[in-house]
Chains A and B, each alone.
Chain A
Amino acid sequence: MGGEPVISLRGVRAELGGRPVLRGIDLTVRRGEVVALLGANGSGKSTAVRAVIGQVPLAAGEIELFGAARHRFRDWARVGYVPQRTTAASGVPATVTEIVSAGRLARTRFGRFRKADRDAVQRALAGVGMADRAKDSAFALSGGQQQRVLIARALACEPELLIMDEPMAGVDLASQGVLADTLRDQVAAGSTVLLVLHELGPLEPLIDRAIVLRDGCVLHDGPPPKAVGQHALPGHDHVHPHDAAGAEPIRTGLLS
């Protein structure tokens, strides 16, 4: 991979409530790469991506996005972010289109929507297979469908870099397949992707490189652990959401 760095972290340290969570992380994601950030609960993987997007203050080190220091970076339309959520809904009903439209704001001037913006929202919805639910309330969706809405929201600004925090958590198998397809389309179109995952699962064939965190330090940075290997990762606790007990644990057939 010889592309220029899109995300780079150097010696990043961060604390949450006085407890060190990141203890000197170096990592680089280059243009066109799909990088998975793996690790057990509490290893700091979510904190690392939240530091990248400026949600966690740094105790030390520096972060660059597209070659610019993070605190100077203003070009947020190039970044699509999928936060770790179990629901897309809030205190007031909102349609799928209304929620996805929020992701387009970075491309508008003062929040005024033109036809191109509405088209982009429709494309993002179609990309996650939710076009037929555009006018439905987010309250009425399953967990997997809500996750697809959150991903469509990130895609609505047509980002060059996608950052996803556990996009597969609590997602049913049908939606996992759709999400893998969506991600494959994005990668084929040249997007750079950084995603936090609990396990590689159906996304495995897409992933170029895996970075494994443990106790706030980088433990492994290289080719993704192979299907059998992922279960042997240090500190890996194994969860298959929505899988019946006894279902085959290794599933690589969804995409290959």
Chain B
Amino acid sequence: MELLDYAFMQRALLAAVLVGVTGPAIGIYLVQRRQPLMGDGIGHIAMTGVGLGFLLNTSPVWMATAVSALGAVLMELIRWYGRTRGDIALAMLFYGGMAGGVMFVNLAPGGSNANLSSYLFGSLSTVAPEDVLAISVLAAFVVAVTLGLRRQLFAVSQDEEFARVTGLPVRALNLLVAVTAAVTVTVAMRVVGLILVSALMVVPVAAAQQLTRSFAATFAIAVALGIGSTVGGTVTSYYQDVPPGPTIVLLTIAAFLVLTVLATPLARRRARALAAARPTGDPAECAVPAPREPAGGIGV
């Protein structure tokens, strides 16, 4: 394993593991409440943060964290108050964020779109030593929220109206999910890139769902798939000299396809076992595995 001899690869692999954990860990709640594309929106907004970081000559990671957290809170507010215009407002936010990023980078002294490219698609060599601390702190926050508050976040993402009647602070928890998703985007942007970061929040969860019946198992398998694909993609990127972001995303999609093929006979066997266990049931009570809901758009 000569790749571990290089300090930049050690940093990249550490970042890869953190991304592999945090992406699916927050992504599962976004998928659960049928907002799988929220990470994508935050990624677009984060570009403005990166651009501002260049322009103001501050750390792009912290600036992107601040701007995307702000953007995520704004998206959550639009979801509350926006009625029919919600979609349009979100679109403004996405495109404005992207345009702002490109504009600020080009306004920065000596800046060009080349600076942005590593943030858009990820790069192994750009995980700087000072980034490692920032990424680790942010990842620790994401893990603490997604695991520590898993019962509350599950309840809110499963059925918001019911959660309110159990006395949970639903608005605060929704804002926390939004901010945590924003933090995850900035954790992931050095390795996977802003354009593809959302894939790591959604695809491992969708892949895990092919096999699972419970939320807990979906969470565990999604995180395992996340780590597998980020580490696998990073190593492949080192040997084959391809950008890590696309490699990682293609690996997660491959995992999704493999698990989908494997799951078909499994679902059939489960349905048969269920039918065998209840031979006298009312026909209306027969358990037929319902079709999975396709990942929808951003719900407003």
Interchain nearest-CB distance for B73 vs A (Å)? 22
> Does B157 interact with chain A (Cβ within 8 Å)?
yes
**Sampled A-B contacts (26; CB under 8 Å):** A74-B167, A76-B165, A76-B167, A83-B161, A90-B32, A90-B34, A91-B36, A91-B293, A92-B28, A92-B205, A93-B209, A94-B154, A94-B215, A99-B158, A102-B154, A102-B162, A102-B163, A103-B166, A105-B155, A111-B150, A136-B274, A140-B270, A140-B290, A142-B285, A153-B162, A172-B282
* 3 cross-chain pairs, A with B, having the tightest CB-CB distances, nearest first: A76-B167, A137-B213, A102-B155
A141–B152 contact, CB under 8 A? Answer: no
> Does B214 interact with chain A (Cβ within 8 Å)?
yes
C-alpha spacing A81/B118, complex, angstroms: 50
B159–A102 contact, CB under 8 A? Answer: yes
- Measuring CB to CB, which residues of chain B are less than 8 angstroms from any residue of chain A? 28, 31-34, 36, 149-152, 154-155, 157-159, 161-168, 205, 209, 212-216, 218, 270-271, 274, 282, 284-290, 292-293, 295
B285–A174 contact, CB under 8 A? Answer: yes
C-alpha spacing A198/B134, complex, angstroms: 57
C-alpha spacing A15/B33, complex, angstroms: 27
A111–B151 contact, CB under 8 A? Answer: yes
> Does A40 interact with chain B (Cβ within 8 Å)?
no
Chain A count of residues within 8 A CB distance of the other chain: 41
- Measuring CB to CB, which residues of chain A are less than 8 angstroms from any residue of chain B? 53-55, 74, 76-77, 79, 81, 83, 85, 89-95, 98-99, 101-103, 105-106, 108, 111, 113, 135-137, 139-142, 144-145, 153, 157, 172, 174, 242
C-alpha spacing A90/B163, complex, angstroms: 14
A93–B162 contact, CB under 8 A? Answer: no
A81–B165 contact, CB under 8 A? Answer: yes
A105–B213 contact, CB under 8 A? Answer: no
Count A-B pairs with CB separation below 8 Å: 119
Q: Which of A53, A101, A102, A172 is B284 in contact with, Cβ under 8 Å?
A: A172
Interchain nearest-CB distance for B49 vs A (Å)? 28
Chain A residues contacting B162 (CB-CB under 8 Å) are 81, 83, 102-103, 153
C-alpha spacing A77/B165, complex, angstroms: 9
C-alpha spacing A85/B159, complex, angstroms: 10
Chain B residues contacting A139 (CB-CB under 8 Å) are 213, 289-290, 292
A172–B285 contact, CB under 8 A? Answer: yes
A92–B218 contact, CB under 8 A? Answer: yes
Q: Smallest CB-CB separation from A171: which chain B residue?
A: B284
Chain B residues contacting A145 (CB-CB under 8 Å) are 285
Beyond A111-B152, A136-B213, list 18 extra A-B contacts (CB 8 Å): A53-B164, A76-B166, A89-B290, A91-B293, A93-B209, A93-B213, A98-B215, A98-B216, A102-B151, A102-B155, A102-B162, A106-B167, A135-B213, A136-B274, A140-B270, A142-B284, A142-B286, A174-B284
A-side interface mostly: loop
B155–A92 contact, CB under 8 A? Answer: no
Chain B residues contacting A101 (CB-CB under 8 Å) are 151
C-alpha spacing A98/B212, complex, angstroms: 13
Count chain B CB atoms within 10 A of each CB in A83, A91, A94, A95 and give the residue with the most. A91
Count chain B CB atoms within 10 A of each CB in A76, A94, A106, A145 and give the residue with the most. A94
C-alpha spacing A162/B166, complex, angstroms: 12
C-alpha spacing A44/B132, complex, angstroms: 57
C-alpha spacing A176/B299, complex, angstroms: 33
Q: Which of A79, A98, A105 is B214 in contact with, Cβ under 8 Å?
A: A98
C-alpha spacing A53/B216, complex, angstroms: 30
Count chain B CB atoms within 10 A of each CB in A79, A85, A140 and give the residue with the most. A140
Chain A residues contacting B214 (CB-CB under 8 Å) are 93-95, 98, 135, 137
Chain A residues contacting B287 (CB-CB under 8 Å) are 136, 140-142
C-alpha spacing A139/B289, complex, angstroms: 6
Count chain B CB atoms within 10 A of each CB in A53, A76, A142 and give the residue with the most. A142
Chain A residues contacting B212 (CB-CB under 8 Å) are 93, 137
